Amino acid sequence: MKILYLYAELSPYLKPVFEAYVKIYGVKLHVVHWDHIKLTPYEPVLMDGVFYYKRSEYDLGKLKKLTEDLRPDLIYVVGWMDKDYLKVIIKWRLKGIPVVVGFDDVWFGNIRQNIGSMLMKSIGRYFFSHAFVSFARQYEFAKRMGFKDHEIISNLLSCDTELFQGSHKKLSLKCINYPHKFVYIGRFSGEKGIDLLAPAFKIYRDEYAGSWSLLCVGGGPLRSLLEGQDHIDVLDFVSQTEMISLLDSSGALIMPSYKDMCPLAVHEAASACLPLVLSSGVGNKSTFLIDGFNGYSFNSTSVHGLALAMHKIASLSDSALMEMSEHSYVLSKRVSPDMTAASLMSILLNN
């Protein structure tokens, strides 16, 4: 079987998914990827059975020829932002080849989403046969775009669980000296709630007499809100291997986003056995967080709500934090790269 991925920028989390297609199902995977609009320096890992094509080298004519030469059994398209991708797939959709659109958008019911859902209901069926979504809140979005239940598959996004869940073997070390440190991982930008994080942490330290520190890992325009603040350390983005080390030396993840589709850092932290503090705007919160079981949630616009959630975590005994850590590990198993691959393959295997 041959699968064609029409993708945007590649990320490390895709490597184990691609390996699953090849090793479990014997798929020949062909991946067109953006190489000219990149936010990270990541380069795809070469592996048997996976073939990469740089988007900058393929105009519309070459994309059409590539697809004709490959004659794929299934096409996966990363959203609808690349207009040439849409022009390529419509022919294959009309031929009855499964054309699957992936998205991790959460339904918020704003004007833009309502207009988009109406357009998708009217013309989307000409382009896509199935929707590949992440979790429950993305399932709702797909339904509102006109996809029927049997046309929606889940488990789109997974971190490299084998890599991050290796932290479970080292979890017992935290019994000796549980790290009293919060960690944030992501862009320092407005939608991520960075303007909430800094003042909330100050309230936690001052009004609740908190003793935990805060580590922020990432980059972006709001970095200045974090740098130079007492008990806050700031690091640039790091490799996955370095990230595991940082998570192993942290006590809980904070994700304060106003609106955040499916931040992979949440799954990575849960896999690495960290309790979670997540805002109501985090799109995969309902999958990886159960309030009081492995962390706490708060209203995405509430500075004091975030400070209180920090206080709740920091007030727990080390043994209670260890129990939450185990619970996060359990919830992290709700999705894996093998499940992601199996979900897409189910379209072909059920036909």
Q: Which residue(s) pair with 161 in the sheet?
A: none
Instruction: State yes or no: pLDDT of 114 exceeds 80.
Output: no
Q: With the CA atoms of 316, 305, 333 and 48 taken in that order, what torsion angle do they form, in degrees rounded to the nearest 10? A: -120
The answer to whether residues 50 and 71 touch, using CB atoms and an 8 Å cutoff, is no
H-only helix segments in 75-183 = 83-94, 111-123, 136-144, 161-164
Share of the chain above pLDDT 90, in %: 80
Q: What is the mean pLDDT of residues 119-127?
A: 72
- Which fold would CATH assign to domain 2-158+336-349? Rossmann fold (3.40.50)
Q: What is the mean pLDDT of residues 57-86?
A: 95
By CB atoms closer than 10 A (0-12, 13-18, 19+), residue 250 is buried
CA distances from 96 to 65, 91, 127, 182, 199 (A): 19, 9, 11, 50, 54
User: Which residues neighbour 132 within 8 Å (Cβ) at sequence distance 6 or greater?
Assistant: 76, 100, 101, 102, 103, 153, 154, 156, 343, 344
Nearest 5°: phi and psi at 217? -120, 120
Mean pLDDT computed over every residue of the chain: 93
Instruction: State yes or no: pLDDT of 125 exceeds 80.
Output: no
pLDDT band at residue 122 using 50, 70 and 90 as cut-offs: low
pLDDT score at 329: 98
pLDDT band at residue 106 using 50, 70 and 90 as cut-offs: confident
The residue ranges of every structural domain in the chain are 2-158+336-349, 161-332
Whether 161-332 and 2-158+336-349 are alike in CATH topology: the answer is yes
Query: What is the C-alpha separation between 220 and 193, in angstroms, rounded?
Result: 12
pLDDT band at residue 121 using 50, 70 and 90 as cut-offs: low
Hey, CA dihedral for 166, 265, 240, 211, is it positive or negative? negative
According to the CATH classification, is domain 161-332 in 3.40.50.880? Answer: no
pLDDT band at residue 260 using 50, 70 and 90 as cut-offs: confident
User: Which residues neighbour 294 within 8 Å (Cβ) at sequence distance 6 or greater?
Assistant: 270, 275, 276, 288, 324, 325, 327, 328, 331
H-only helix segments in 149-225 = 161-164, 194-207
The answer to whether residues 275 and 237 touch, using CB atoms and an 8 Å cutoff, is no
Q: What is the mean pLDDT of residues 181-210?
A: 96
| 342 or 141, which is more confident | 342
Instruction: State yes or no: pLDDT of 38 exceeds 80.
Output: no
Query: What is the C-alpha separation between 66 and 181, in angstroms, rounded?
Result: 50
Q: Which of 100, 127, 30, 23 has the alpha carbon at shortest distance from 70?
A: 30
The answer to whether residues 303 and 194 touch, using CB atoms and an 8 Å cutoff, is no
pLDDT tens, position by position, 39-53: 677 788 899 999 999
Give the global pTM. Answer: 0.92
For tokens 């939608």, name the residue: 191
First and final C-alpha spacing in the chain: 13
